[in-house]
Amino acid sequence: MTKADGGKPANTELKPDTKVTIGGRNPFAHHGYVNTPVYHASTLLYPTAEDFLARRNRYSYGRRGTPTSEALEKAIQEIEGPACAGVALLPSGLAAISAALISVLQAGDHVLVTDSVYAPTRKFCDSVLARYGVATSYYDPLVGSGIASLMQPNTRAVFTEAPGSLTFEMQDIPAIAEVAHGRGALVLMDNTWASPLYFKALEKGVDLSIQSGTKYIGGHSDLMLGAVSANQEALARLKDTVFAMGLCVGPDDMNLGLRGLRTLAVRLARHHQSGIAVARWLEQRPEVLKVLHPALPGDPGHAIWQRDFTGACGLFGVVLKPVRQEAVLALLNTLTLYGMGASWGGFESLAIPYDVSSLRTATNWAPGGPSLRLHIGLEDVSDLIADLERGFAALAAAK
Ligand SMILES: Cc1ncc(COP(=O)(O)O)c(C=O)c1O
């Protein structure tokens, strides 16, 4: 091992926290500077006509890759581990989802999608995929190996998301993958909640693992970014699809992704720790019916989480005991440290109300009371709990 090798010991599997700091970096290819330069690039010039005709260059065109895009792809690939053959970068998490689906499906195919899926994924399947002759059916996220009975002769893909980002059901990914592969279908997963740090999707049987980099990779609520990590079987079609559709990410956004990635491990550890502290506190509150958090021992998904995951992020659900809507709104309006808005994964805490009962088509969503989704950020956890305490006082006053 030498510093010029990027500090990577040969034949040693480095720990995840180390990988996020060195992944994709090669300082001595860039005059020793720690970070890869941000290449603002479209046209690439060749020194001679012969070189142009033979396309003799490491790169060919801005849209098809630069040292900046390679650094981010490689960093994510290293974090995913040896089962990852390559990564495609996309301009948002939703673009990563749609590109991954398009890369494995064609007219006449059928795809099985978890009923707990992120709603815009459902919209993409029901609108664009349907228009191009791909049929979608939705399945109970808890189906496990029971997915076998839902497979059709033309089922080419099974889309998973664990836990669901509003309802937090866990899925038995290895069991689903075993059945899907036995029937010639590929498995896709939206792995944004755990990130490749806390769930090694490709090692657990997923062929295409999707990240909204907008969330924890960015980590600062100032970036839209997506990534798809592929195993060897799925990589060529993924890359062909992304190139054919002309999808690429701007250099400054890739740089923000790289910058965010370097602190991903410390941030996620804090989100995990504070999230569990707030979730445990909420479990004890008389106003709370249940907390939806797979890392809590009482959660129905806990056994799977414990078996397959190595950590949790700061996102979970709370179901309140039945109460007037005005009281729930009073709680939310009283919170000062929890913002109200879409997305999550930044340094700041969020709290939003949600009701997915009208979206479900394969299962019923009837949690028993009004539901909130909390994102626990990097603030001091005692301040976050005190803020919720004030919110519960407002709820009681408005009951
Ligand atoms: C679970 C999940 N997947 C994907 C996305 C889409 O990511 P983006 O907003 O980067 O398109 C989101 C965004 O909220 C999400 O929550």
Structure tokens at 255: 């740089």
Ligand 1 atom at minimum distance from 344 CA? 14
What separation in angstroms does the CA of 218 have from each of 254, 257, 263, 303?
9, 5, 10, 30
DSSP assigned state of 22 = H
Angle made by CA atoms 174, 96, 299, in degrees to the nearest 5: 40
Percent of the chain clearing pLDDT 70 (strictly above): 97
> How does residue 399 score in pLDDT terms, banded at 50, 70 and 90?
confident
Q: What is the pLDDT of residues 70-80, one digit of tens each?
A: 999 999 999 99
Residue 13 has a pLDDT of 82
Calculate helix-pair angle for 264-283, 381-397, nearest 10 degrees: 40
Provide φ and ψ at 72, rounded to 5°. Answer: -70, -40
Q: Determine if ligand 1 sits within 6 Å of the CB of residue 221.
A: no
215 CA from centroid of ligand 1 (Å) = 8
Provide φ and ψ at 7, rounded to 5°. Answer: 75, 20
> Measuring from atom 9 of ligand 1, which residue has the nearest CA?
93
Q: Determine if ligand 1 sits within 6 Å of the CB of residue 211.
A: no
Q: Could you tell me if 352 and 331 are in contact, meaning their C-beta atoms sit under 8 angstroms apart?
A: no
344 CA from centroid of ligand 1 (Å) = 9
Structure tokens at 137: 């059916």
The residue ranking higher by pLDDT, 188 or 3, is: 188
Residue 1 has a pLDDT of 47
- Average pLDDT, integer, range 139-153: 98
246 CA from centroid of ligand 1 (Å) = 21
Q: Determine if ligand 1 sits within 6 Å of the CB of residue 226.
A: yes
Structure tokens at 34: 């720690």
- Average pLDDT, integer, range 235-257: 98
pLDDT of 321 over the 50 cut: yes
> How does residue 158 score in pLDDT terms, banded at 50, 70 and 90?
very high
Q: Determine if ligand 1 sits within 6 Å of the CB of residue 118.
A: yes
296-315: b or e for each residue (b if 16 or more CB lie within 10 Å)?
A: beebebeebbeebbebbbbb
Structure tokens at 154: 């033309």
Give the side-chain half-sphere CA count within 13 A for 70: 13
Averaged pLDDT score across all residues of the chain = 96
- Single-letter residue type at 324: R
Q: What is the pLDDT of residues 85-113, one digit of tens each?
A: 999 999 999 999 999 999 999 999 999 99
Q: Determine if ligand 1 sits within 6 Å of the CB of residue 167.
A: no
Q: What is the pLDDT of residues 55-69, one digit of tens each?
A: 999 999 999 999 999
Q: What is the pLDDT of residues 295-319, one digit of tens each?
A: 999 999 999 999 999 999 999 999 9
Ligand 1 atom at minimum distance from 224 CA? 10
Active site residues: 63, 118, 190, 215
> Measuring from atom 14 of ligand 1, which residue has the nearest CA?
343
Residue 311 has a pLDDT of 98
Q: Could you tell me if 144 and 173 are in contact, meaning their C-beta atoms sit under 8 angstroms apart?
A: no
Quote the pTM value: 0.97
DSSP 250-319: -HHHHHHHHHHHTTHHHHHHHHHHHHHHHHHHHHT-TTEEEEE-TTSTTSTTHHHHHHH-S---SEEEEE
